[in-house]
Amino acid sequence: MRRVGWLSSYCCALYAFLYVPLAVMVAFSFNDARRNVVWKGFTLKWYGQLFHNADLLGSLATTVKIALVASVLATLLGLLSSYAMTRHPAFRGRQAYAGLMNIPLMMPEIVMGVGLLSFYVRASIPLNFWTLSFAHALIALPFSASSIRARLLSLKDARLEDAAQDLGATEWQAFVKITLPLARPALVSGALLAFTVSFEDFVTSFFIAGIGITTMPIQIYSMMKFGISPEMNALATCLLAVTAVALLVQRRLTPEDHP
C-alpha cells in the first residue's frame, strides 16, 4: 500500500509538472492585463487582436503549409522504405539503411541545419518554400518511418499479402488492397508525428528559411525580444485546442486492434 501511495504521488507530481504551466498559460490568455503578473479580470480582447495580427497569422499559414507538405513527403517515403525493408528479404543492407535513416534523430539539429544550408548553397539551390519543406520532410522521416515499419512488422509476417498473391493478386494489388488498409493506423500516426515535428521546428527553419519565408516559431522568437505578449498565450491556447481535437480524430480513425 505504501508503494502504491508513493507511485500515486509521483504520478500526480509528474502530471502537475507537465500540465500546470499549460493551465497557467490558458488562464492568462484571458487576463485583462498586458503583463502576465497579476490577474485583472476576464477578457477576450487578446484573441481579437490575435486574429487581426497579419504577421502572426501569415507565419501560421506558412507553417501549416510547410508542415502539410513535409508530412505527406515523410509519410510516403516512410511507407515505401518500410515496405522494402519488411517485405523484401533480398534487400541487402537493410540494417545499415535503417541506421542511416535514424541519423536525424541522433544528430544535433543545428548540425543538420548547417549541413542542409551548405548543401543548398553549394548546389546553387535558392532557399524558398520548397527547400524548407524538403528539409522538414528529412527531419520528420525517421518518426513516420519507425511508426509504419513497426506496424508492418506486426502484420503476422505478411501472410495475408502472400495469401492474396497465391489467389492471383499482383504484389501491387496486394499492397493497395491488403497492406495499405492494415497500415492505416501507422500512416495516420506517422503523418501526425511528421506534421508536429515540422510545425514546431525552429533551428532548421532559422537556417533554411529564405527571404520572405517566416514560420511561426521564427515569428514568435522575433516577438519574444520585446517580452511575452498575451497574444502569444492566446495563440498557444488555440494551438492546444487544435492539438486536442487532432488527437480525438486520430483516436477515431485508428481504433485499437482486437485479438
Residues 163-193: tens digit of each pLDDT: 777 777 787 887 888 888 888 888 888 888 8
Mean pLDDT of the chain: 82
Radius of gyration of the chain (CA): 22
Distance, C-alpha 92 to centroid of its chain: 30
DSSP 42: B
CA gap 32, 42 in Å, rounded: 6
The pLDDT, as a whole number, for residue 256 is 55
Closest CA to 176 of 166, 165, 167: 165
The pLDDT, as a whole number, for residue 258 is 43
